[in-house]
């Protein structure tokens, strides 16, 4: 369900592709292994790791984080409450307003009948509402 919603959300963005490649990789699947697989399979593409600022503090605990930094650029999305300082040269902060929207906020808003269309990429509002209703029935 999430994969299909993601695919719908990025329709029209030619430089973004949603992939299910990790489902076919050995478990556990680590970010570095995924990036390396993608690079081997599609060397003509450039791969950038996008992470939230909340992950920067623990990034050094990731498996092969040093190799990720050597081979890939890391873009960091700002989050309120986390530093703007980036400890590694190969990291860049995305200059964008901080929008604090979580899946919990979306779910709870839909349950309360609020229109959250503004917070969602085009085309997935109806899908989200349908999934929230399904989840509610299962409770």
Runs of H (alpha helix) within the chain: 2-9, 31-41, 65-71, 103-111, 125-138
Domains of the chain with CATH codes: 14-96 (3.40.50.620)
* pTM across the whole model: 0.77
pLDDT tens for each residue of the chain, 139 residues long: 888 888 988 888 888 888 899 999 999 989 999 999 999 999 999 999 999 999 999 999 999 999 999 999 999 999 888 888 899 999 999 998 887 788 889 989 999 999 998 888 877 888 899 988 888 887 6
3-state secondary structure at position 94: coil
Report the alpha-carbon distance of residue 72 to residue 79 in Å, rounded.
Answer: 22
């Amino acid at each position: 369900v999430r994969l299909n919603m993601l695919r719908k959300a990025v329709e029209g963005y030619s430089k973004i592709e949603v992939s299910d490649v990790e489902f076919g990789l050995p478990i556990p699947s680590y970010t570095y292994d995924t990036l390396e697989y993608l690079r081997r399979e599609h060397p003509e593409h450039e791969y950038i790791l996008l992470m939230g600022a909340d992950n920067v503090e623990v990034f050094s605990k990731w498996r092969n984080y040093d190799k990720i930094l050597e081979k890939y650029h890391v873009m960091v999305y700002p989050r309120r409450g986390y530093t703007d300082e980036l400890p590694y040269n190969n990291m860049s902060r995305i200059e964008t307003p901080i929008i604090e929207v979580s899946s919990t906020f979306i779910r709870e808003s839909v349950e309360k009948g609020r229109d959250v269309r503004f917070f969602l990429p085009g085309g997935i509002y109806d899908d989200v509402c349908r999934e929230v209703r399904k989840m509610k029935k299962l409770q």
